[in-house]
Amino acid sequence: MPNRVVVGLTAIAVLIAAAPAPAHHAFASEFDIQKPLVLRGSVTVMEWVNPHSWIHIDVKGDTDTVNWMVEGGSPNALLRLGFTKNALLPGMDIVVTGYQAKDGTNKAVGRDLTFADGRKLFLSESAAGTQK
Amino acid sequence: MIGRSLAWIGLMALVGAPPAWTPPRTPEGHPDLQGIWTNATITPLERPKELGAKEFYTQNEMAEYRKRALVPLPTAERGGTEAHYEFTQFGLYRSQAQIAFSLRTSMIVGPEGRVPALTSEAQQRIAERAAGAKGHEFDGPESRGIQERCLVWGVEGPPMLPPGYNSYLQIVQTPAYVAILQEMIHDVRIIPLDGRPHAPQTVRRWLGDSRGRWDGDTLVVDTTNFTDKTNFRGSRENLHVVERFTRVDADTIRYEFTVDDPGTWTRPWSAELPLVKDKGPIYEYACHEANYGMANNLKGARAKEKADEGAAKRQHEDPK
């Protein structure tokens, strides 16, 4: 695994309070809470698939470029937030903070995703609001 | 206008009470339950123990509870999946969808407000099953839960409980059938209304075998013939569910259910929750389409086994 291209498998100050709750997947067995990371890359593909969207990004290192797959939210929920298929296109630069897959390959869960200029990738919580 | 109002007041005086809300009806004369509904909720299935026998909040208490329940916790206080995953960013937090509010303190009705005790037979069965699965959780796809395998979502039921996110369902009616689609995670219940008996006991289905009938303006659905692969609070193939759907106003269906399985619970129990009209649309949830999570989980388990083997070998060669 070309660690050097990852912009630091940085220890992010995220406090983990409790054992993982049951979710669609057993998160704790899919992703490694001991392997937090920050990825800066350029989108190559956005897969609009359930149960989770997957964003593919090219992460440039000193000598080579590595393609990473990043797990995002359920497309159905993203659509309801106002996200469209044109909102994240190939070539856009994003920053992902998340955790690497336990199998050690170039896959990660995207905990927080922002554009290169710091804007949240998806609508912010204040913009989402409630319908009623 | 004033004349009409006076005439109305006069009529009211004559009959004594405002007329009950009458639901829109299908051409056959039954209440029209069709549309897209949400059961997203902040009401727990079981009542918090500290509330004792208090079955309803007051309006003020509910306002306070809503306020607290809908504010996302600071990141540092979130645990489990939420710690891995920014819920609000992905539209998964409950404040980001319409909520079907109720004054109930729990979905389960009655003074206890909790699932009754398991029978000793059920306790033993559950313990044996857990012991058999222990250590084999990641052997292969079949050892993972049916939810993770995209077969049936854990709360699809019946009884149908809120799935946590994408909490939408669509009801379609014809003279002979009612069909219910739940967005999570793609299944449609097709419920015949023609009085036919349940399928033979040998026929077992993921969502059970449902039969519907009209009891006045309430749709009653009786479901049996579950499989031993589904698990509703400890009850599997012998679960018996009776659901009642009643339109109570333009925006709400009262959804009630009673569940019963003498081999699992010491008594039957009942719950109630509202289904609230939603503007839609409802989306397909093609869970199998790209369930990378399953493969990632199994690969993670294999990688861990390999690492553990390596560590054991090193320990053996160089015990320190």
Number of helices (H), then strands (E), belonging to chain A: the values are 3, 5
- Residue B85: the pLDDT is 67
pLDDT value at residue B212: 98
Question: Position of tokens 């912010």?
Answer: A124
* Chain A contact set for B291 (CB, 8 A): 51
User: Is some CB atom of chain A closer than 8 A to the CB atom of B297?
Assistant: yes
Judging by DSSP bridges, how do beta strands B240-249 and B218-224 pair with one another?
A: antiparallel
Helix (H) and strand (E) counts for chain B?
A: 5, 9
**Which residues, in sequence order, are bridge partners of residue B190?**
B179
Give the residue on B whose Cα is nearest the Cα of A17. B79
**Inter-chain residue contact B85 with A18, CB threshold 8 Å:** no
Q: Does B73 touch chain A (CB under 8 A)?
A: no
Query: Contact B303/A102, CB-based, under 8 Å?
Result: yes
- Identify the three-state secondary structure at position B130: helix
C-alpha triplet B18, B276, A125: angle, nearest 5°: 135
What is residue B23's DSSP assignment?
Answer: -
Contact criterion met (CB < 8 Å) for A24 and B86? no
- What one-letter code names the amino acid at B135? G
Residue B92: predicted pLDDT = 74
Chain A CB within 8 Å of residue B98 CB: yes
Interface test with chain B among A54, A78, A120, A125, by most B beta carbons within 10 Å: A125
- Using CA atoms of B24, B168, B104, B235 in order, give the dihedral in degrees to the nearest 10: 110
What integer pLDDT is reported at residue B80 of this predicted model? 61
| Cβ neighbours, 10 Å, residue A55 | 23
Residues of A in contact with B296 (CB under 8 A): 25, 30-31, 101-103, 107
Give φ, ψ of B114 to 5 degrees: -140, 160
Average pLDDT, chain A: 75
The shortest C-alpha distance from B141 to chain A (Å) reads 12
pLDDT band at A18 (very low <50, low <70, confident <90, very high): very low
Question: Hey, which residues does B218 pair with through a beta bridge?
Answer: B215, B246
Return residues 266-285 of B near A (CB < 8 Å). 279, 283-285
The pLDDT value given to residue A118: 83
In this prediction, residue B83 carries a pLDDT of 58
Give the pLDDT mean for A22-48. 84
The confidence score (pLDDT) of residue B260 equals 98
**Among A95, A120, A118, CA closest to A108:** A95
Region A78-92: what's the mean pLDDT? 87
Q: Percent of chain A having pLDDT more than 90? A: 35
Cβ of A20 and B81 within 8 Å? Answer: yes
> By three-state DSSP, how is residue B108 classified?
strand
Q: Which residues pair with A67 in a beta bridge?
A: A58
Residues from chain A that touch B300, judged by Cβ atoms under 8 A, are 29-30, 32, 101-103
Collect all residues with Cβ–Cβ distance below 8 Å to B126 and sequence separation of at least 6: B118, B234
Average pLDDT over residues A43-60: 93
3-state secondary structure of B182: strand
Number of alpha carbons in the 13 Å side-chain half-sphere of residue A1: 13
Domain ranges of chain A: 1-11+33-111
Q: B231 CB near a chain A CB, below 8 Å?
A: no
Q: Which two tokens stand for residue B100?
A: 């079907």
- Residue A68, number of CB atoms within 10 A of its CB: 24
Contact state of A112 with B148 under an 8 Å Cβ cutoff: no
Q: What is the pLDDT of residue A24?
A: 60
Closest to B272 (Cα-Cα) out of B159, B154, B191? B159
For A121-129, what is the mean pLDDT?
Answer: 46
Please list, in sequence order, all residues whose beta carbon lies within 8 angstroms of the beta carbon of residue B51, skipping any fewer than 6 positions away: B105, B106, B113
Note the pLDDT of residue A11: 27
- Regarding beta strands B269-277 and B252-260, do their DSSP bridges make them parallel or antiparallel, or are they unpaired? antiparallel
Q: What is the pLDDT of residue A128?
A: 36
User: B89 — contact with chain A (CB < 8 Å)?
Assistant: yes
| Shortest Cα–Cα distance, B299 to chain A (Å) | 5
A1-11+33-111 has which CATH code? 2.40.50
Higher pLDDT, A41 or B99: A41
Chain A CB contacts of B99 under 8 Å are 130, 132
Cβ separation A31–B84 shorter than 8 A: yes
Which residues of chain B carry a pLDDT beneath 70?
1-19, 74-85, 320
Residue A123 pLDDT:
47
Contact B92 A74 (CB under 8 A): yes
pLDDT in tens, A65-81: 999 999 988 889 888 88
Q: Which residue has the higher pLDDT, A57 or A123?
A: A57
Write down the pTM of the prediction: 0.85
Of residues B113 and A24, which shows the higher confidence score?
Answer: B113
Closest CA to B229 of B120, B160, B124, B129: B129
Query: Is A51 near chain B, with CB under 8 Å?
Result: yes
- Does the beta-carbon distance from B90 to A33 stay under 8 Å? no
What pLDDT was estimated at residue A124? 39
